[in-house]
Amino acid sequence: MEKAIIILGHGSRQADADSTIRRIAADIRSIGGFEIVAHAFLQHTRPGPEEALEQCVKEGADMIVIVPFFLQPGGMSARMSRRCSRKQGAVIPELRST
């Protein structure tokens, strides 16, 4: 069984912002555990998820793990955090989030 992992980032217009995703993929590659290691971005940067999936299959993957990684500081993570807080606040009024 050829196991693959794709580290999926949001993607940014700032070239250096996406270097974190590439570095994580390189670290996983050096640690081992997966025969195939790839990275992808949802927008602004290539490869996209479809390209990464196709590449993994071409390299022989028969199991692909996709790991979303949206922990980088930026506009998207701030918006998602606020959205989650609002939704949970409606369900659990006593919830405090910072």
Confidence of residue 89 (pLDDT cuts 50, 70, 90): low
The yes-or-no verdict on residue 30 having pLDDT over 60 is: yes
In the CATH scheme, what architecture does the domain 3-72 have?
3-Layer(aba) Sandwich (3.40)
Q: Given this model, what pLDDT does residue 93 score?
A: 59
The yes-or-no verdict on residue 72 having pLDDT over 70 is: no
Q: What is the arithmetic mean of pLDDT over 67-72?
A: 80
Model pTM score:
0.73
Residue ranges with strand state E in the chain:
3-9, 36-41, 63-68
The yes-or-no verdict on residue 97 having pLDDT over 70 is: no
Calculate the dihedral angle through the C-alpha atoms of 32, 34, 36, 41, rounding to the nearest 10 degrees. -90
Give yes or no for a contact between 6 and 53, defined as CB atoms under 8 angstroms apart.
yes
